[in-house]
Amino acid sequence: MSSAPDRLVVLSPNWLGDAVMALPALADVRRQFANAHLTVAGRGSVAALFAMVPGVDAVLTLPGKGGAAAFGTWKADAATLMAGRFDTALLFPNSFASALIARQARIHERWGLATDLRSRLLTRSAPKPRGKGHQAAYYQALVAAFGIANGPSYARVTPPSLESRLAPSERYVVFAPGAAYGKAKQWPPRRFAELARLMLDAGRGVALIGSRGDQPACAEIATSVGTRAGAQKSALVDLSGRTTLAELAGVMAQADAVISNDSGAMHLAGAVGTPVVAVFGATNEHRTSPLTCGPDATPPAIVATSVWCRPCMLRECPIDHRCMTRIPSAQVFEAVRRVAR
């Protein structure tokens, strides 16, 4: 094995959910190279996450874009990495572009999986892990391929203190009705609205969260419930598109529970230590269920149907979305009652 790195940079996955599921592997890296200066480099959508992760010495925001668009911005990414004067890069993404920017940044040691025709760009490569286990196990298998011992599969995020203006009430739950992957993953807004009424009747406030793209769904829920979205200290507050990632983590950390589709928000909620009720439809809960932050954390409650067509892994349902429409609000409400603080 090569000598231990002095200045190590880990290139993060590009999606929030994947970034959270990679945290156990990142913790493995931290333990293995306890004396190294550890930087995590990620896209703007996920970089702020790592400022809340214990053991990370620095966070670097890559200015370019992910996916196919990375080939138009790789020079800016390479320049940003080069400025960090790293001696070793560990690549969590499987893309050719991530290996290209690490090489162009003149990082001497470049470790990653032999995928996407990029082996020649790496100084150490390993075959892609086999099996269809949890995504967190995939990232831990990745680091294990480079001699890094695996530890427990926990994801811990420590958010800053929450500003009081963001809380809808002293006791509240968080709804995350969006899902960037596609509508097939989304429990219908009308069901969230039904659940909101049940929560309000039970004496808990509701905070709606999400990205700007989730604002229509959140507005539909708020309108259906009949509470003015964004009202300060009301029983229901619509925060969609209005929080930073750190603020979002803070809102979740102080909630009694988080009810979410399979999304980045779901994974973040588990990492801050809040009980999670995860509603699964098109995707596979055995592969992407939320991690907990430690051995004493409440395990997530998974709500799913047993219809024949799931998990289909499609972005849009070609039939009647039965995997989600057949989950009643009362079932999710009971799941919240079991796990909420």
DSSP string across 280-307: -SSS-HHHHPPPPSSTTSPPPEEE----
Give Cα separations from 316 to 76, 193, 217 (angstroms). 35, 22, 16
Question: Are residues 236 and 269 part of one domain?
Answer: yes
Asked whether residue 150 is assigned to any structural domain, the reply reads no
State the pLDDT confidence band at 226, using cuts at 50, 70 and 90: confident
Give Cα separations from 185 to 51, 83, 176 (angstroms). 29, 40, 12
Question: Are residues 323 and 226 part of one domain?
Answer: yes
Asked whether residue 152 is assigned to any structural domain, the reply reads no
User: Which DSSP string corresponds to 92-153?
Assistant: -S--HHHHHHHHHTT-SEEEEES-TT-GGG-SEEEPPPPS---HHHHHHHHHHTTTPPP---
Asked whether residue 154 is assigned to any structural domain, the reply reads no
Asked whether residue 216 is assigned to any structural domain, the reply reads yes
- pLDDT value of residue 233: 45
Asked whether residue 153 is assigned to any structural domain, the reply reads no
Predicted TM-score of the model (pTM): 0.94
pLDDT digits 0-9 by tens, 276-314: 999 999 999 999 999 999 999 999 999 999 999 999 999
Question: Are residues 238 and 116 part of one domain?
Answer: no
- pLDDT value of residue 145: 97
Instruction: Identify the domain containing residue 92 by its residue range.
Output: 7-144
Question: Are residues 245 and 103 part of one domain?
Answer: no
Asked whether residue 157 is assigned to any structural domain, the reply reads no
Question: Are residues 299 and 182 part of one domain?
Answer: yes
Question: Are residues 248 and 136 part of one domain?
Answer: no
Residue 183 maps to which CATH number?
3.40.50.2000
pLDDT digits 0-9 by tens, 22-62: 999 999 999 999 999 999 999 999 999 999 999 999 999 99
Q: Which of 89, 109, 144 is the last residue of a domain?
A: 144
Question: Are residues 66 and 31 part of one domain?
Answer: yes
Q: Which of 82, 114, 144 is the last residue of a domain?
A: 144
Question: Are residues 229 and 198 part of one domain?
Answer: yes
pLDDT at 155 over 50: yes
Residue at token pair 């025709």: 117
- 8 Å CB contact between 137 and 116: no
Question: Domains in the chain: how many in total?
Answer: 2
Question: Are residues 140 and 168 part of one domain?
Answer: no
Strands of the chain (E only): list them: 7-11, 37-43, 58-62, 88-91, 109-113, 124-126, 172-176, 205-208, 236-238, 257-261, 276-279, 301-303
Question: Are residues 139 and 172 part of one domain?
Answer: no
Question: Are residues 199 and 131 part of one domain?
Answer: no
